[in-house]
Structure 1
Amino acid sequence: MISKISIPAAILSAGLFFSLSAGANSQFLERTEVQSFIDQASEQTGLPRDEVAALLGKARFQQSIIDAITRPAESRTWGEYRPIFITDKRIRDGVSFWNEHQELLEEISQDYGLSPEIIVAIIGVETAYGGFIGNYRVLDALVTLGFDYERRGEFFRGQLIEFIRLADEQGLDMDKALGSYAGAMGLPQFIPSSYRHYAVDGDGDGRIDLWESKADIFASVANYFVAHGWGHGEPVAFKVDVADAEVDDLLNKARDLAPKTTLRELRERGVIIPNDAPEVPADFKVMLFTLTTDDQVEHWVGLNNFYVITRYNHSVLYAMAVWELATKIAALRES
């Protein structure tokens, strides 16, 4: 087995959790859907059925996880969301973080073709450069959401199976690994499936540590972006004026974020493209989306790289925050 990842002691506080009674855990394990999952997980992971059951028996239901996922920051308007992440402190801290890891960031940027400011901004938005990595046991988060969050239960049960596989592959202690309320881990907040499929061993020590190894962390973020089609040096987004154009049917809304229109079609509808907009082929697929502040609705065009950011977190608010934070960090660092 690969050596265990060293998880910071600061995120292993046992006092952060409340546990179900033994009777309640027994009732949980007797649920039909839980028994079916135990069979499925045992078959897919190779773990004996009794070990899967024992693992689930250690999980603690946490209502605060359900509460958190039903009111995500991404449900806010841009006017409410932006001040959370675009602050003078987060920009300054981003410059300091970049300077501290300059050599490594530049090396990974050259290897993967992803600018350092994007890597830094992702970590800045996700965990404030490692300042807050999450205080939920990943096991608790995935079990709670997998069996008591009906809207996306199937997804989180799948992530629970991925977590079991990940723990076996990387030697993770499933009792102690902490993350977000959605089960995302480390500085870049990878969910288990992303950890298994996109995280890389950047420092070559034979394990992938997204809590402590900056080489692993930076390389994993870069690998994720490149795997999803990031174009080095390509533009990200620009603002447009819709004037009186009828474009509601062209807007990307909610989780429907795949580019579905073109600049040619936008122009034909009467959308005004600014003269300083990046040069993009007229038939290139783009996104059209809105950002709402207190007193206005802005229309923006997202290009391929903007869409790639939404693949990290399926929200135009998130993508815009990452892009703006990256831009401001780079500008301050160069000033």
Structure 2
Amino acid sequence: MSTRRTLLACAVPAVLAAYARVQPAQAAPAGNSFHDFLTEVRTQAKRAGIASATLDRAFAGVTPNQKVLERDRHQPEFSMTWARYRTLVITDKRIVDGRQAVAANRALFRRVQERFGVAPGVIAGIWGLESSFGTGTGDFPVVEALATLAWEGRRAAFFRGELLAALKILDHGDIAPAGMTGSYAGAMGQPQFMPTSYLRYAIDFDGHGRRDIWTSNADVLGSIANYLAQSGWQDGQTWGQTVSVPSGFAADGRDARRPLSEWARAGVRPIGGSWAASPDTPAGIVAPDGTGGETFAVFGNFTAIRRYNPSDFYAIAVGLIGDQVLA
């Protein structure tokens, strides 16, 4: 596993989670004005059954957002080690804030776990990384941001699909255009769902008739749990744990799974206690900074977290934050 990674700042500036090498932005296609683009989208949306009144409200006053273009065109590249990433995202303040958030919503976490079989720790870890427990959700108008990126052309097909999904959300009545805010790239609300993820996973957990991932903690936590449950989270199992390995041990990564008993025979030992799973549990050994760095045994639920965000750094941080918040 590489000891250096390229870090792309996530939608919420405080969360450094998505890894990709930045591609240079392209200008909007010649001759395709923003007005013409919106006209095309209106036609496509109407064919998909979205009401004209919804489109009128959604596109009222929408223009190319220069701040969105600046963010998209000037995303910084960082070479980031796990040790540095860990220092940035697993802070004392985040752990304290997480404990307070869990304490304030303890009954809600219990109801969510009863329904979805997803442990409070992993939900809290995602909630904390994505929006600092709801305190940093982004203030870009989602329709305008997505329209700008879909028109600009660098990832036009992707953002056009997300824009149409956002229009479906508005047409359903879950949120008004003014309340549909998020990151410059269209990630919405406290769980930072893209619109297509919202359509798949967001739920109305508090039963108020709308899937409100902006202001309803019940819908936020329920939606995160639903995402993980549909991604294969196994109730009663953990994500992984920190381990020690013999000198010179080469970790083969999350996909090279063996029973814990085999890793134990190879000299892998849990740090700070006993194994968090039974001896026959398949586990991969991940050393995100390479040989000599911090090392983890990761189980099946690690894969479920990676379906929320495919970065190993992110998934480990979610697990560690959750463990510390509940400690």
Residues 233 and 304, structure 2, Cα contact 8 Å, conserved in 1? yes
Q: Deviations over 1:196-246 (max 9, x none)?
A: 111111111111111111211111111111111111121312446375567
Assess, with a 3 A threshold, how the Cα gap between structure 1 residues 104 and 279 changes in structure 2: closer, same or farther.
closer
Shift of 1:97: 1.0
Q: Deviations over 1:23-77 (max 9, x none)?
A: x99822346xx77655544433445599589839714232233046x3488x632
Correspondent of 1:64 among 65, 70, 78: 70
Residue 319 of structure 1 aligns to which amino acid in structure 2? A
Shift of 1:281: 7.2
Q: Secondary structure at the match of 1:83?
A: helix
Do residues 79 (structure 1) and 72 (structure 2) align? Answer: no
Q: Secondary structure at the match of 1:291?
A: coil
Q: Secondary structure at the match of 1:58?
A: coil
Aligned positions, number: 291
Residue 112 of structure 2 aligns to which amino acid in structure 1? I
Residues 310 and 316, structure 1, Cα contact 8 Å, conserved in 2? yes
Residue 207 of structure 1 aligns to which amino acid in structure 2? R
Assess, with a 3 A threshold, how the Cα gap between structure 1 residues 176 and 113 changes in structure 2: closer, same or farther.
closer
Structure 1's unaligned 5+ residue stretches are: 1-23, 252-258
Aligned to 1:170: 173
Bigger mean CA deviation after superposition, 128-137 or 141-150? 141-150
Do residues 181 (structure 1) and 178 (structure 2) align? Answer: no
Percent identity at matched positions? 30
Assess, with a 3 A threshold, how the Cα gap between structure 1 residues 51 and 99 changes in structure 2: closer, same or farther.
closer
Aligned to 2:12: none
Q: Deviations over 1:138-196 (max 9, x none)?
A: 1232123323362x432222111111111111343235521012211111111111211
Residue 161 of structure 1 aligns to which amino acid in structure 2? L
Residue 292 of structure 1 aligns to which amino acid in structure 2? D
TM score, norm. by length of structure 1: 0.73
Assess, with a 3 A threshold, how the Cα gap between structure 1 residues 190 and 281 changes in structure 2: closer, same or farther.
same
Aligned to 2:21: none
Q: Deviations over 1:260-306 (max 9, x none)?
A: 432169969x964336544467694x55543129x954444422111
Residue 109 of structure 1 aligns to which amino acid in structure 2? Q
Q: Secondary structure at the match of 1:314?
A: coil
TM score, norm. by length of structure 2: 0.75
Structure having the larger proportion of residues in helix:
1
| RMSD of aligned Cα (Å) | 3.6
Do residues 227 (structure 1) and 224 (structure 2) align? Answer: no
CA distance in 1, matches of 2:45, 2:200: 19
Aligned to 1:290: 287
Bigger mean CA deviation after superposition, 314-323 or 34-43? 34-43
Do residues 202 (structure 1) and 198 (structure 2) align? Answer: no
Q: Secondary structure at the match of 2:163?
A: helix
Do residues 329 (structure 1) and 296 (structure 2) align? Answer: no
Correspondent of 2:308 among 312, 318, 327: 312
Q: Secondary structure at the match of 2:215?
A: coil
CA distance in 1, matches of 2:286, 2:82: 12
Aligned to 1:112: 116
CA distance in 2, matches of 1:192, 1:142: 10
Do residues 159 (structure 1) and 162 (structure 2) align? Answer: yes
Q: Secondary structure at the match of 1:219?
A: helix
Aligned to 1:236: 239
Residues 79 and 292, structure 1, Cα contact 8 Å, conserved in 2? yes
After the TM superposition, which residues 249-268 of structure 1 pair with which residues of structure 2 at under 5 Å, given as runs? 251=253, 260-263=255-258
Shift of 1:329: 0.8
